[in-house]
Chain A
Amino acid sequence: MIRPSLLRSGALLTTLAAAALAQTPAPTVESKIAALEAAVKSAQTSGDNAWVLVSSALVLMMTGPGLALFYGGLVRKKNVLSVFMQCVILMGLVSVLWAVFGYSLAFGEGSPFIGDLRYFLLHGVGADPMPDYAATIPHQTFAIFQMMFAIITPALICGAFAERMKFSAMLLFMTLWLCLVYLPMAHMVWGNGGLLNYFLKGSIPCLDFAGGTVVHITSGVSALVCALYMGKRIGYPTEPMKPHSLTLATVGACLLWVGWFGFNAGSALGAGSLASAAFLTTHLAAAAATLSWTAAEWLKHGKPTVLGAISGCVAGLVCITPAAGFVTPVSALIMGLLVGVVCFVMVAIVKNMFGYDDALDAFGVHGIGGTLGAILTGVFADKGVNSLLNLDKGNAAQVMNQAIGVAIAWGLAIVGTIIILKIVDVVIGVRVSRDEEVDGLDLSQHGEDGYSYES
């Protein structure tokens, strides 16, 4: 039963609305469609932008506190702060370098090997999308997202020279490494006109969804070069150097796992179904590798260790990174199972055979896991998963392209890192003194103590 007063006011409103309509000319069909298109575009931009911004934050969280806790827990107590500091200072250093020239050299359209300086000081990187890279999000969002990758990549190398590198030397090393190794590799694989860019006119089209070659091979192989160049820690391998807190390391690894959804699913650069596909493959590969590393270790050493489980999860995440948006969930499971066993054999058996001191196994996990992932991406990539692909599973030519991409990444990392280490060694000296190393880097480099319970 409607009250008469309501009825009256309803009638009044209708009269007013009719009067308003009569005063403005009726909109044309064209203008209605244009308005609708603009509304749809803006809605998609909002959705995609929200996901990529959240992903950017997740990727930053991988470095701090994710990687800081993971690596920090694995070193000895006297060096825990030095590892945290390396991660945190890279969040500062790389961000600034990225804004000044890093983004431009990686993503400006220059030569096939390195970008130009068109985006110097982020000039021209604004609200409008850059359609070649990501048509539905502001160019700024793309630059932010890529910045977080540039931060974590050098941070991964810290695992190899942990517990013995001079802090000042590390700053110079990282600055040069970003310029000579990361930026060229990122440009070649992802930059407009890059040599290896699959989607933007690269002459050797190599697939790398979220950074198998750009992030994990470059950092992992450089880590091996650092470990060989710097030599072993004093006392390695006769003195026990067991992780001082597997508790911290486990928390860190779990944060890495969560952050990796931003890394891989965020690399869809939108919030559509490709992000879901990449999310699922990422998770399944991590899960499978957690199981396979644990199982391999259980069989070999008689006990399933926590360190084995978290190492397996990271190895799985590394391996699926280049493939996340290109392969099926079943392929992801296979990749995870494989990489867990391969990386376990690398760090637990092969490393001891060669005797190099890759303190936290940056090479064994990222170098080897990244290489395996990059090759397997060529094996398993499938246009049924990603419509932008032009190939089916098991395409031999693509496997070959992947191998060339891997070889270039290895070569660049080896040559670049050797040159940089030589320069840093001459200018500053890469390694701390014997006394400083024995005292621990927390005290000798930073004058602090990670666990001061007195205060």
Chain B
Amino acid sequence: MKKIEAIIQPFKLEEVKEALKTIGVDGMTISEVRGHGRQKGHKEVYRGQEYQVDLLPKVKLEMVIPASRLDEVTATIVKAARTGKIGDGKIFVFDVVEAIRIRNDDRSDTAL
């Protein structure tokens, strides 16, 4: 099993969700996060007080999938989330040791 953590532009969330749904991935957890990589922030001015805003709003998707589907899923996310500009985000992949469905104690791939 693999865990995928994808940090994407907030406005790309719907597109990515739809694309994942069409290839049959329907379990995921989404959080609104803030962060920055190479993308520069922007300037905000409040009554003459200037603030450099470095941490930009992003959306983080987390999902655990069978290892066999890894390439297919990451390719789908990349295709749907890409605009070609700095700030599109990143995908991180982790190995998962175990998954347990709390309702009925299903284990591993069956639990996904």
A residues neighboring B (CB under 8 Å): 237, 240-243, 297, 300-301, 303, 305, 307-308, 311, 344, 347-349, 351-352, 361
What's the nearest-Cβ distance from chain A to residue B49, in Å? 7
Is the beta-carbon distance between A361 and B47 smaller than 8 angstroms?
Answer: yes
Interface centre among A237, A242, A297 (most CB of B within 10 A): A242
Interface presence of B44 (CB below 8 A): yes
Please give me the residue from chain A that is nearest to B50 by CB atom.
Answer: A301
What's the nearest-Cβ distance from chain B to residue A107, in Å? 37
Is the beta-carbon distance between A303 and B45 smaller than 8 angstroms?
Answer: yes
Docked pose: A348 CA to B46 CA in angstroms: 8
Which of A240, A241, A303, A352 meets B48, CB within 8 Å? Answer: A352
Interface presence of B51 (CB below 8 A): yes
* Contacting residues, chain B, for A308 (C-beta < 8 A): 47
Is the beta-carbon distance between B51 and A347 smaller than 8 angstroms?
Answer: no
Is the beta-carbon distance between B47 and A307 smaller than 8 angstroms?
Answer: yes
Is the beta-carbon distance between B46 and A305 smaller than 8 angstroms?
Answer: yes
Is the beta-carbon distance between A240 and B51 smaller than 8 angstroms?
Answer: yes
* Contacting residues, chain B, for A349 (C-beta < 8 A): 48
Is the beta-carbon distance between A301 and B49 smaller than 8 angstroms?
Answer: no
What's the nearest-Cβ distance from chain B to residue A352, in Å? 6
Taking CB atoms and an 8 Å cut-off, the chain B residues in 35-93 that contact chain A are 44-49, 51, 53
What's the nearest-Cβ distance from chain A to residue B62, in Å? 20
Known A301-B48, A351-B48, A352-B48; further 19 A-B contacts with Cβ < 8 A: A240-B51, A242-B49, A243-B46, A297-B45, A297-B48, A300-B48, A301-B45, A303-B45, A305-B45, A305-B46, A307-B46, A307-B47, A311-B47, A344-B48, A347-B47, A347-B48, A348-B48, A348-B49, A349-B48
* Contacting residues, chain B, for A347 (C-beta < 8 A): 47-48
* Contacting residues, chain B, for A361 (C-beta < 8 A): 47
* Contacting residues, chain B, for A241 (C-beta < 8 A): 49
* Contacting residues, chain A, for B51 (C-beta < 8 A): 240, 242
Is the beta-carbon distance between A242 and B48 smaller than 8 angstroms?
Answer: no
Please give me the residue from chain B that is nearest to A347 by CB atom.
Answer: B47
What's the nearest-Cβ distance from chain B to residue A178, in Å? 29
Is the beta-carbon distance between A242 and B44 smaller than 8 angstroms?
Answer: yes
Closest 4 CB pairs of A and B: A348-B48, A240-B51, A301-B45, A347-B47
Docked pose: A240 CA to B44 CA in angstroms: 10
Is the beta-carbon distance between A352 and B49 smaller than 8 angstroms?
Answer: yes
B residues neighboring A (CB under 8 Å): 44-49, 51, 53
Is the beta-carbon distance between B44 and A348 smaller than 8 angstroms?
Answer: no
Docked pose: A297 CA to B47 CA in angstroms: 8
Docked pose: A348 CA to B51 CA in angstroms: 13
Listed by A's residue number, 13 A-B pairs whose Cβ atoms lie within 8 Å are A240-B51, A241-B49, A242-B46, A242-B49, A243-B46, A300-B48, A305-B45, A305-B46, A311-B47, A347-B47, A347-B48, A348-B48, A352-B49
* Contacting residues, chain B, for A237 (C-beta < 8 A): 49
* Contacting residues, chain A, for B49 (C-beta < 8 A): 237, 241-242, 348, 352
Docked pose: A344 CA to B49 CA in angstroms: 12
Please give me the residue from chain B that is nearest to A361 by CB atom.
Answer: B47
* Contacting residues, chain B, for A348 (C-beta < 8 A): 47-49
Please give me the residue from chain B that is nearest to A237 by CB atom.
Answer: B49
Please give me the residue from chain B that is nearest to A293 by CB atom.
Answer: B47
* Contacting residues, chain A, for B53 (C-beta < 8 A): 240
Docked pose: A114 CA to B87 CA in angstroms: 65
Docked pose: A278 CA to B68 CA in angstroms: 76
Docked pose: A240 CA to B47 CA in angstroms: 13
Docked pose: A348 CA to B49 CA in angstroms: 7
Please give me the residue from chain B that is nearest to A74 by CB atom.
Answer: B46
Please give me the residue from chain B that is nearest to A351 by CB atom.
Answer: B48
What's the nearest-Cβ distance from chain A to residue B43, in Å? 9
* Contacting residues, chain A, for B46 (C-beta < 8 A): 242-243, 305, 307
What's the nearest-Cβ distance from chain A to residue B27, in Å? 23
Docked pose: A349 CA to B49 CA in angstroms: 9
Please give me the residue from chain A that is nearest to B48 by CB atom.
Answer: A348
What's the nearest-Cβ distance from chain B to residue A289, in Å? 14
What's the nearest-Cβ distance from chain B to residue A216, in Å? 18
Docked pose: A303 CA to B47 CA in angstroms: 11
* Contacting residues, chain A, for B48 (C-beta < 8 A): 297, 300-301, 344, 347-349, 351-352
* Contacting residues, chain B, for A300 (C-beta < 8 A): 48
Please give me the residue from chain A that is nearest to B54 by CB atom.
Answer: A240
* Contacting residues, chain B, for A243 (C-beta < 8 A): 46
* Contacting residues, chain A, for B45 (C-beta < 8 A): 297, 301, 303, 305
Docked pose: A297 CA to B51 CA in angstroms: 16
Docked pose: A352 CA to B46 CA in angstroms: 12
* Contacting residues, chain A, for B47 (C-beta < 8 A): 307-308, 311, 347-348, 361
